[in-house]
Amino acid sequence: MPNHLSPQHTFVVRFWQDDPTGKTATWRGSAEHLQSKQSLNFLDPAVLLPFFERYLSTRRRADHEDQNIE
């Protein structure tokens, strides 16, 4: 679950090759949101943006709503 209270978010992203010789290497990766301990393993880095948005877009919406309160 996203942490709605945290003003900052920290992610660790790692990439590695499953064949160290590089002959038939497939790049793999993992990402972790440190505050929530949620992680993601992936082959396609395109899945990173939706993973980040789970946490960051929630915060932006909350900030925007706070600014509209009079």
- 13-44 confidence digits (pLDDT tens): 999 988 877 678 788 999 999 999 999 999 99
User: In degrees rounded to 5, what are phi and psi of residue 15?
Assistant: -125, 145
Segment 41-55 mean pLDDT: 95
Q: What is the pLDDT of residues 10-20, one digit of tens each?
A: 999 999 988 87
CA proximity to 12, closest of 45, 43, 35, 34: 34
CB neighbours of residue 31 within 10 Å: 19
| pLDDT at res. 65 | 54
| pLDDT at res. 47 | 96
| pLDDT at res. 69 | 45
Is the distance from CB of 30 to CB of 40 less than 8 angstroms? yes
Tell me the C-alpha distance between 49 and 11, whole Å. 12
Tell me the C-alpha distance between 56 and 5, whole Å. 12
Domain ranges across the chain: 11-68
| pLDDT at res. 66 | 53
